[in-house]
Structure 1
Amino acid sequence: MLVARKLLPWVIFTGICLALGNGNAATSVAALLSRAEAVRSSDPGEFQQLLVELEEARPNASSAQRDQIAYLQAYRQSYLGRYNIAIPALQKLARDATTVETRYRAGALMVNGYAVTRQFTEGLRQLDQTLELVDRIEDTDLRAHGLGVAAVMYNEIGEYRLGLHYAERILANPPHGRARCFAGQYRAEALWQLKRLPASDAMLRDAIQHCVAEDEAVIANLLRGTLARQWASQGQRGKAIALLQQHMPEIESTRYARLVGEAHSLLAELLLAQGSLVEAERNARAAISHGPAMPHSQPLVAAFKALYEIASRRGDTAAALDYYRRYAEADKAYLNDVKTRELAYQFVRQETAQKTQQIELLNRQNQVLQLQQRVAKQNAQNTRLVVLLLLVVVAGLGYWAYWIRRRQKALRRFAETDALTGASNRHHFTQSAEQALAQCARNGEQAALVMFDLDRFKEINDTYGHAAGDWVLREVADACRSFCRGIDCFGRLGGEEFAFLLLGCDLAAATRLAEDCRVRLTRIDTRPSGHNFTVTASFGVSATASSGFGLEVLISHADRMLYRAKRGGRNQVRAYTPDMPIAETSRREEDCEQEPAQIPAFGASAP
């Protein structure tokens, strides 16, 4: 008993010390978390060291603090571009975190990860789930963060009006600190893409200054990139180059691969336009070295294009050809990615609409069931009649909707398609081509038009009959479809005349495609038609670089080249250039000048 009495004060003292120690540990974890949150995007080095200390202090952290540590670890992985590690960790947090705030933050960061990794369908789904939690978030800045995530996602998928809407919702009630900085960048990006950015750079400078004050180097330099683009578009290229070069060390110090790659790509474009080939090449290569962090992106396309133009100016044909191939591949991947983003948005919107309709249908069904229960108490027979009536109405509406949908599809197909060849008819081709050219003009993209006319097609009809002529037209249309991408336009303009509109192609690329198509047509085996002859065509090519974005002018120049090919002996490709003398000969006069000739046998060279 005496020993116990002597030890009792020490036991009490030790307990007090342990309690104080645990309290200090908890305070230390909270302080580390607070500091890590403050520097996570402004000081990557200190943030990494704080994460190491937090991991060591994890045993002393509460459940909510452990969730916050896990979130910051996932944030670090996202910052380094390791989304294959970050996204699964965020999925677990969004599902299992103890607080709604952490689930909300995890969902928002996951949306960013899906956007960067081009998983737009999953990102849009996650965005809808995250925004459902907004009204449960009491912190104003954190709530603004969710709206900012929505702005980022919609900017990424090209829905810039929605991106601007969410950014302006944030700035209408300006949040504190970092959130305002991010919102300013989202608004600037959307306005630039919508071509609505004010001519004055005051708004951009104010946003940059605010981000600098918040130590947000990444966002500040994204805004500087937009400012450089604005200056360049206003003819102040030297000023834009100086801005990027001045801040390039700071940009590279962020180690944010996507920012670094985009900055080098933009600088390469500006330097190339100024004629500084060596510096342009260095920056283009630096941008390509960050290609894995920005796949299927316009900056990567621009970097390869810059290297191709540099090699061309230096006369290095082999290098130019190689870079042109890589540029074409990157451009195709970028265009496919744009289409993927558009499809993802439409898919998720349709999916959401279907879910809403299902909920409404279930609500209505529930109301009907309640009504049926009340009616059943009065008369069971009446209940059966009501159910039968509802089934008949639903079936009738379903059949009516199905019939109307099929009818609309058939009418649309009939109105847009040439019945014989299955290609677009002249009206639909013209409408689609004008819309595509307007889009190219807005985006500063190239396009080219290829027209061709089958040689001596009338003689095929006269010699072998119209059935053989129709067979030839169908075979020609089938052969030409293999040369069309999903974004291109192909149609039958009338008779034996067809046309392609090739988006993103210059005159040289379109001429090569026309030549490939010409060769393909000469290889059509006509024996299945019951006759033996050779199919050839004469091609004319024009491009927006020399003819502008007006469809009528493109068709006129391509048509002239087509008939120049006719005069030159047929079965050949001619491309329009502004310096080319063009005889002012009408089609009717050209046709009258051609001498009738025998159709060559299968395998013979075309006239």
Structure 2
Amino acid sequence: MAWSALVQPAHAVTAVTNPTAFLEQTESLRTKDHPQFVQMLEQIHRETPRLTQREQWYLRYLDAWETMFRGDYSQSELQLREVIDHSGDVTLAGKASALLLYNLGTNQRYDEAFALANRLTTALPKISDPHVRYATLMYLSQMLDFAGQTDLAIKYARMMEDAIPPGETSCLPLNLQVAALYNSKRLTSSSPIIQQAIDTCVVAGQPIATNSMWLVLSSLYLDESQPDKALALLDRIAPSIRTSRYHFHLLSSQAEQAQAYAKLGNDNEAKKAALDAIALGRPGDISEWLRVVYEVLYQIEKKHGNDAAALAYYEQYVIQDKGYLNDVSARTLAYEMTQQHTLVQKLETDSLSKQNSILRLKQALGTKAVETSRLYIILLLLVLASIVFWLLRIKRSQLRFKKLSSQDGLTGIFNHQHFISEADRALRVLEKKHGAACLIFIDLDYFKQVNDTHGHAVGDAVLKRTVAICEQHLRPTDLFGRLGGEEFGILLLDCSRDQGKAIADRIRMAIQATPVDADRGVISFSASVGLASTDTSGYGLQRLCREADAALYRAKRTGRNRVIADTEDGSLVEA
């Protein structure tokens, strides 16, 4: 959940006469007046020696919240687990567990996050503290939104509205509903719920939550090709975002500025905003916003003819794009696997319960007639058979999900992660036999225009047609996968560079010669192909990928609809 909004005036620092009341007041200012929250946190730290044990754990919980707010999720997790495991305070442990759920989800540890979400969901009816229940519902809504379960996320957000504790308002529940609707593409800039959320959060004095809604509105303006409105809005809320220092808002606002300037043709300002966004990131970060800024930088450098810089930014864009798509798939898969695991546990529990019933019934059989005993045994065997039947169905379902985790959901071929894994394994085996192989990267030309002009349904049809064409020219031993978006990878085993170029060119010509029928007429499309061979690049997958990617980029830059292959001296040649 990304919060942000109008900054409130600072409160005067008061003497700490009642530490518990002071800590409660400090907690209430976390999102309403974050600078004042930090100031009060520093003040109460100076009072640590005279705090009770419970007050010291309360302070550690607030420290963990602030650590996570600054973006240090690993340290925050350690602090939260200490509170959960050692504080001995049910209320503090409940708050820390709810916050840990958000921490794990934001830190992309989805298996652990959804497992914790299931435990919290089970414990929800027993939570009596209104603030703990409110926080638990909030983070459950966020995790379900992460998993793409929009309706469930909205359901939990509305449950929050029905359980607002003293001192809270409907600001955060409305925030969660807007976030879920936006992520599922059910919002426009004129949707009434956005203004309702903004007005509610302003009245509630929630700056971080308010800015979150403004940033959603800015994104909608960009989606609707209104960059001037987006830029004006971003300029207006910039002081508040800088004051709150919320890492996610700093990054997203810079990325949206870069997009807006780029759409308005102001390349200098777009580049500056994009570089500022990159500077906010940390090494190894994968996010939708970093993907956006690298695409902006790539388009700018390409427009100005800076080929080397454009290629470097394009490589970073591809890394972010593939990483983001894999992350979305990982969320969904983790959610599905957690649900399956929970169902298996329930069935196993039911099975144990029924086995206990069987033992009790067997004891009773000794006092009954033989005929009645036989009837009971038959019935019990039927129960056991039904349990085994359901366990087998669950196991088969788990195997199906495992298979799906290696396939691309749209085309049915290998997904990016499985293709890379299989290609690396095949190359290691091939190296021992001193065989040859070719790695081919295929990228559909102007595919974004097809989506924008004819819609995503037609775009999906084009992707499926491309896969079908490629499969007609491949052998059963060749590896074929979707790398992300409109890019595909093929590893031709036991194939020389010349043979690979011939196969790649046949695929390219077949794609060009096979249009797709749509409601608005026939859609022709083409592909650019880059090829790298073990003959010249060796068996290292990383180098082969780099060479094939460079060849693909050259094919794009030199006019598209062509095959470019590497040569022995490391240069590229058109096939």
Same fold (TM over 0.5): yes
Please tell me the residue identity of whatever aligns with 2:475: V
Deviation, structure 1 residue 365: 2.0
SS in 2 for 1:87: helix
Deviation, structure 1 residue 539: 2.2
CA change 1:168–1:293 in 2 (3 A) is farther
Identical pairs, percent: 24
Aligned residue number for residue 92 of structure 2: 102
Aligned residue number for residue 456 of structure 2: 441
Deviation, structure 1 residue 352: 1.1
Deviation, structure 1 residue 537: 6.0
Aligned residue number for residue 228 of structure 1: 218
* TM alignment of 1:421-500, pairs within 5 A: 441=456, 448=463, 450=466, 476-479=475-478, 481=479, 483-484=480-481, 488=482
Q: In structure 1, what is the Cα distance between the partners aligned to 2:19 and 2:213?
A: 34
Per-residue CA distance 1:48-100 (angstroms, 9 max, x = gap): 33223333433433343232122111111111122212212222322343332
Pick one of 173, 176, 182 that aligns with 1:183: 173
Deviation, structure 1 residue 298: 1.1
Q: In structure 1, what is the Cα distance between the partners aligned to 2:82 and 2:505?
A: 62
234-243 or 38-47, which deviates more:
38-47
SS in 2 for 1:70: helix
CA change 1:346–1:385 in 2 (3 A) is same
* TM alignment of 1:524-603, pairs within 5 A: 538-540=506-508, 557=524
* TM alignment of 1:129-168, pairs within 5 A: 129-168=119-158
SS in 2 for 1:538: helix
Q: In structure 2, what is the Cα distance between the partners aligned to 1:35 and 1:293?
A: 36
Q: In structure 1, what is the Cα distance between the partners aligned to 2:504 and 2:180?
A: 49
Aligned residue number for residue 504 of structure 1: 485
Aligned residue number for residue 346 of structure 1: 336
Matched, 1:254 2:260: no
Per-residue CA distance 1:434-484 (angstroms, 9 max, x = gap): xxx999928999975647979xxxxxxxxxxxxxxxxx98972422x2x41
Q: In structure 1, what is the Cα distance between the partners aligned to 2:31 and 2:116?
A: 23
Pick one of 34, 41, 45 that aligns with 2:24: 34
Q: Is the 8 A contact 1:451 1:558 kept in 2?
A: no
Matched, 1:366 2:356: yes
Aligned residue number for residue 106 of structure 2: 116
Deviation, structure 1 residue 169: 2.3
Q: In structure 2, what is the Cα distance between the partners aligned to 1:189 and 1:329?
A: 26
Q: In structure 2, what is the Cα distance between the partners aligned to 1:131 and 1:97?
A: 22
Aligned residue number for residue 282 of structure 1: 272
Q: Is the 8 A contact 1:177 1:214 kept in 2?
A: no
Please tell me the residue identity of whatever aligns with 2:141: A
CA change 1:541–1:116 in 2 (3 A) is farther
Q: In structure 1, what is the Cα distance between the partners aligned to 2:461 and 2:278?
A: 23
Matched, 1:208 2:175: no
Per-residue CA distance 1:521-546 (angstroms, 9 max, x = gap): 76669xxxxxxxx97861237999x9
CA change 1:441–1:132 in 2 (3 A) is same
Deviation, structure 1 residue 229: 2.1
Deviation, structure 1 residue 159: 2.2
91-100 or 391-400, which deviates more:
391-400
Please tell me the residue identity of whatever aligns with 2:229: K
Deviation, structure 1 residue 403: 9.8
268-277 or 439-448, which deviates more:
439-448
Deviation, structure 1 residue 265: 0.9
Q: Is the 8 A contact 2:527 2:560 kept in 1?
A: no
CA change 1:391–1:56 in 2 (3 A) is farther
Query: Normalising by the residue count of structure 1, what TM-score does the alignment of the two structures yield?
Result: 0.66
- Give the alignment's Cα RMSD to 1 decimal: 4.8
Q: In structure 2, what is the Cα distance between the partners aligned to 1:351 and 1:277?
A: 50
SS in 2 for 1:292: coil
Q: Is the 8 A contact 1:446 1:503 kept in 2?
A: no
Q: In structure 1, what is the Cα distance between the partners aligned to 2:458 and 2:100?
A: 30
Please tell me the residue identity of whatever aligns with 2:524: H
Q: Which blocks of at least 5 consecutive residues in structure 1 are unaligned?
A: 1-24, 425-436, 455-471, 489-501, 526-533, 563-572, 582-606
Deviation, structure 1 residue 257: 1.2
CA change 1:400–1:122 in 2 (3 A) is closer
Aligned residue number for residue 46 of structure 1: 36
Deviation, structure 1 residue 347: 1.3
Matched, 1:244 2:234: yes
Please tell me the residue identity of whatever aligns with 1:476: R
- The alignment of Structure 1 onto Structure 2 pairs a total of residues equal to 474
Deviation, structure 1 residue 230: 2.3
Q: Which has the higher contact order (CA 8 A, sep 6+)?
A: 2
Pick one of 175, 184, 194 that aligns with 2:184: 194
Deviation, structure 1 residue 44: 3.5
Q: Is the 8 A contact 1:258 1:293 kept in 2?
A: no
Higher Cα Rg, which structure: 1
Q: In structure 1, what is the Cα distance between the partners aligned to 2:30 and 2:390?
A: 58
CA change 1:232–1:68 in 2 (3 A) is same
